[in-house]
Chains A and B, each alone.
Chain A
Amino acid sequence: MFSRWNWVACGFYLVLNICSPDASGGLVQSCGHIIPESPVLALGSNFTALCILNESCLDFGNIYASQIIWKIKNRVVPKEQYREINRTVSSVTFNDTSLLATPLTCNILADGQIEQNIYGITVTVGLAPEKPENLSCIVHQMARFTYDMTCTWNPGRHTFLDTQFRLRYSWPEETFPDCIPKDVNNSCTIADIQFFVNTEIWVEAANALGKAESDPLVVDPVDIVKPLSPQNVSVSSGALPNFLKLFWENWISDTVMTLKFNIRYKIVGDTDWMEVPLEDTASPRTSFGIQGLRPYTKYVFSIRCMKEDGLGYWSDWSEEKTGITAADKPSKGPPIWRIIDASHSPAFWTVHLMWKPLKPFEANGVILQYEVTVRDKSSLSSPPKKYNVTSTNHTLQLLIGTYEVTLIARNSVGASPPSVLLIPANNSKGPVKNLRTLPKHDKLWVGWTAPNSYVLKYVIEWCLVSSSSDCIIEWQIAPGDVQGVDLKGIKPFKCYLITVYPLYADGQGSGQSVKAYLKQDRPSKGPTVQTKKVGKAEAVLTWNHLTVEEQNGFIRNYTILYKTIDGNETVVTVDPSKTEYTLSSLTSDTLYTVRMMASTDNGSRTGPDFTFTTQKFGKGEIEAIVVPVCLAFLLIVLLGVLFCFNKRDLIKKHIWPIVPDPSKSNIAHWSPQVPAKHNFNSKDQMYPEGSFTDVSVVEIEADDKKSFSEQDLKPFDLLKKEKSTSEGHSSGIGGSSCMSSPRQSVSDSDEGETTQNTSSTVQYSTVVLNGYRDQTPVQVFSRSESTQPLLDSEERSEDHAGGADIPAQRQQYFRQNGGQDETNTDRPCFERTKQITHANEGDLVGFVQLQISGQSSQPLGLGMEKNTQEAALSNVLQTCTEGQTVRPETVEENPLSVDEMPKSYLPQTVRQGGYMPQ
């Protein structure tokens, strides 16, 4: 318990000692300190620090040197580096100071657990300065009497410490203030340096770890001067055309130093300088005359100076000054050439003389005018003609002949030597041989082999070949002893036509031409290919040549690349002279993509893609297929016709059944009062030609009215409305063809309507007139137009005798099944049945049997109308049978003639509007 309280007290005391202000100075009273205090150490050296504890802390804190822990930053130094010197002193040793870091602290482990910092120091590690090397100085002249000396040196390695560099200099008996560099450590400038005394100059470098001095430099500052360049430079020209004099002023008086000079000059615009020999300007001077210059040429001059004995440095070049030499007469005549145009007249030439302006060094002044003299060589008696021209061309109209043209250029000083051009009547002399070109950087060299004869000179013409403009000729003259010239101003990627003419003393040789490029490139575009003709397995491609502007070089070949969508590309190389090519072995009915590439020596360019599809059939294949097919078809048709012809009776039987002529019918001999009962069993008699091939029976229940749709009943409603006057009398029989549609049946007044149905119908029916009320009905045979089945009563009379009430419940419809429009034929009849049913308020029996009963107010009229309608029906029946147009107007007209008609059946041939055999 005591021990615990003791340790607590010790810790408390320790904290108080460390943290409480000192009574005397107000500073922290530490329990110890480190020796040395914030040392500066050489990098890589060893270092030992001591931590010394205060005695007072020992008494109250029970802390001893054995409890000391050394730390670098927050890292504990290994115990192996500690040494307990005594109970209050602990040391730590580092063999390599590069491992040190700041701060180095001395800590105590109070009570074995609480770590308290006792003291800390900052350790600075660096290097001693190296000896500065390579000290050199230069004295810059700043003004006329002001000289600054700037010395530079190599400061050596980085020391990691604050290192002071001082430039020191002294005379043997005079020491000057040090020059301390600002912001740098390798140079310093001393102002107002004094000459003519050997001055010792050295550099001193010092930091916390040491000091170093450079080797001394002993020099008289006047020997290391870089003077200011001469000022007020001027150039004057005298009367001589090749002389200029240069003047200047020196900044340095001869009492300080004497100077030598270096003069350079060049023609304005040139890049290279020429220099006056140094030995010519090695003595002090303020002017110098330069000779050997070109007349009337602008020169630029510059000058520099240095100490005459060669010690020190050259000054900078002075400002440039220009001067122009005096003019002189032109040194040579202008080169002259001509273009002869003989197209206007066979006897005259239009001669375009042209000459080049003299170069400045040839003109030697401003050319004021040219004098052209033309002498007719073929006519010696004629005087020469002279022309004064200010331009560089002149056009003459000359008779064809040989002429000598002389040209002189004149400036303010004098005239040039004459240039002579001989224009012969014809160019019959030998041409140059082996004309060739070769690009040389930005020039195009043109070479040739000289003719056998002596050549005075050569004229080289060239022009830029263009597809859009004429060839503008440029030319130059070469001496007769050369066999090649460099053409300047040639543009790359342009085609030039170059022609070389040899000029002889007595004539002119014919020109030889060659096309050339200074530099080739790939074409600027590719050819646009298209098809001229496409076949099944071949396609003819055409394209246009690239224009000369697009070629950018000599087209070496064309390459055609074509492929199908999923196929490999096929490549064909074509001669560049061609504009058409036929692709063969193509697949028929296939889409091909083709493009074309033009190639020069320097690359290729591909044109746009073009697609085409080969034909499915080759030439003549379609004809080979179509013609046999047509022939086969014709043959089949012919055979069919023959077959039909052979079988015409059978066909006629089915298609055009023979309709009996009613006028020839034996019914005409019937008695109207005693009509004979029709023998329905004798069908052969009724239809001797066997028009009916089949008969079917349709049974309809009397109560089956509801099975008829509303749509089916509509036509009857219309009929009811439009034929109200005849309602109940002519309904059902009313003049409508069985072949007619319900609408047609209703619209009897539509004269234009026709009946399309040509199906076979029932051609006769028996009209049974019931007796009025209890009267005995009169049975009347009437020709029926209806396609309705035969009346049940008639059938019943044959097949179901005695069954008088059966039709009231069940009706049987005969259905003719012999026509090809069987269904269509049946349906109108069926619909018409419904119509009639509707008109009779659903009494199908009354409809089927057309019972004329008491509901009709005009029974007789009805009977007559019935007859009238019957005639019309027979007409319609014929229409149905033969497919002829129905004429419903007959139904409308019939009532008007009812009174005039006999009240018995008459052959319809005697009645207007009656049945007429078709």
Chain B
Amino acid sequence: MAAADSPSAALRRRDLCSRGIRLAGKMRADVVDLLDAYVEQQGLDASASVAAVEGVPLAAVERWDEQTGTQRLLENLAAYRAFRALLAQMLEEQREQLGEADAGLGRALAAVLLQVSAFTYHLEELLRLESRGIPGEEEDGPPAPPRLSLFEQKLRGLGVLRELAQWAVRSVRDLRQLAKPSPAPGAAPGLAESP
């Protein structure tokens, strides 16, 4: 926490949080738009029920307000690393399925993938400011997905995007929580605060 105590570190954290909030907000907006395009493109029903995506932590969490800042960052990092891998796989499958026929959907997927990557960077930087080690990707990464049918790939993609949209909302809240001025040292352990 030594780094977090310095004024520059505080400014850096505030800046990272601010950008992360806006990035998460934009990511959510883009994912919502992408969802509409994806459902239409893949011929899916927007109201279709999709099972939870394996390897992605649930955005909804109990006792969210009791989480520490580090916990929030770590959960976010795990989730977005999973999203990054899933979106990369979706992009690959998209290219295999449609080739260059629907470049717009591919560009939108790539843009969201970039935003996820950027947000992951933000989270890692914030964790560095907390002087916390950054977990390795391999140990936190999702397991290799089983070989799925085309329809299952489409449904999984739909589930990934829906979950990403939810996570974007949660991330905004998490970062806003982190962006609040830190309480006096010793008042609470870590980044724990009430929302």
Contact = CB atoms under 8 A, between A and B. Distances in A.
B121 A194 contact: no
Interface stretch (B20-28, B146-154, B181-189): B20-28
Interface stretch (A34-42, A166-174, A439-447): A166-174
A198 B33 CA distance: 24
B4 interface: no
A56 B19 CA distance: 75
Contacts of A256: 22, 25-26, 29
24 contacts: A145-B33, A171-B117, A172-B125, A173-B117, A173-B121, A174-B117, A192-B107, A192-B111, A194-B114, A194-B118, A195-B22, A195-B26, A196-B19, A196-B20, A196-B22, A196-B26, A197-B19, A197-B23, A197-B122, A222-B22, A256-B22, A256-B25, A256-B26, A257-B22
A393 B168 CA distance: 75
Contacts of B20: 196
A271 interface: no
B75 interface: no
A255 interface: yes
Contacts of A173: 117, 120-121, 124
A171 B117 CA distance: 10
Interface in A131-167: 145
B30 interface: yes
B175 to A, nearest CB: 11
Contacts of B29: 253, 255-256
A196 B33 contact: no
A222 B30 CA distance: 15
Given A222-B22, A253-B29, A255-B26, A197 B118 contact: yes
Interface in B16-68: 19-20, 22-23, 25-26, 28-30, 33
Interface in B65-121: 107, 110-111, 114-115, 117-118, 120-121
Given A174-B121, A194-B115, A255-B29, 19 more contacts: A173-B117, A173-B124, A174-B118, A192-B107, A194-B111, A194-B114, A194-B118, A195-B22, A196-B19, A196-B20, A196-B26, A196-B115, A197-B19, A197-B23, A197-B122, A220-B19, A255-B26, A256-B25, A257-B22
A145 B22 CA distance: 15
Interface in A885-906: none
B30 A196 contact: no
Nearest to A194: B114
Given A255-B29, A256-B29, A172 B121 contact: yes
Nearest to A254: B25
Contact of A174 (B25, B107, B111, B114): B114
Interface string A217-233: 00010100000000000
Contacts of A222: 22
Interface in A232-269: 253, 255-257
A650 to B, nearest CB: 150
Interface in A839-877: none
Nearest to B118: A197
A256 B20 CA distance: 11
Contacts of B28: 255
B111 to A, nearest CB: 6
Interface residues of A, number: 17
Contacts of B111: 145, 192, 194
Contact of A255 (B22, B107, B118, B125): B22
A197 B26 CA distance: 12
B11 to A, nearest CB: 14
A198 to B, nearest CB: 8
Chain A interface main SS type: loop
Interface in A266-289: none
A221 to B, nearest CB: 11
Contacts of B114: 174, 194
A171 B30 contact: no
Nearest to A198: B19
Contacts of B115: 194, 196
Contacts of A192: 107, 110-111
Contact of B118 (A145, A171, A253, A257): A171
Contact of A196 (B23, B110, B120, B124): B23
Contacts of A172: 121, 125
Contacts of B117: 171, 173-174
B121 A255 contact: no
Contacts of B124: 173
Contacts of A197: 19, 23, 118, 121-122
A192 B110 CA distance: 10
Contacts of B22: 195-196, 222, 255-257
A298 B115 CA distance: 47
A769 to B, nearest CB: 164
B110 to A, nearest CB: 8
A312 to B, nearest CB: 14
Closest 9 CB pairs of A and B: A196-B23, A255-B25, A197-B118, A196-B19, A255-B29, A194-B114, A256-B26, A255-B26, A196-B22
Contacts of B25: 255-256
A145 B111 CA distance: 10
A257 B29 CA distance: 12
A253 B25 CA distance: 10
B56 to A, nearest CB: 21
A172 B33 CA distance: 28
B87 to A, nearest CB: 14
Contacts of A171: 117-118, 121
A621 B28 CA distance: 123
A198 B122 CA distance: 10
A551 to B, nearest CB: 76
A255 B122 CA distance: 17
A195 B118 CA distance: 9
A151 to B, nearest CB: 18
Residue among B25, B28, B124 with the most chain A CB within 10 A?
B25
A220 B26 CA distance: 14
A172 B118 CA distance: 9
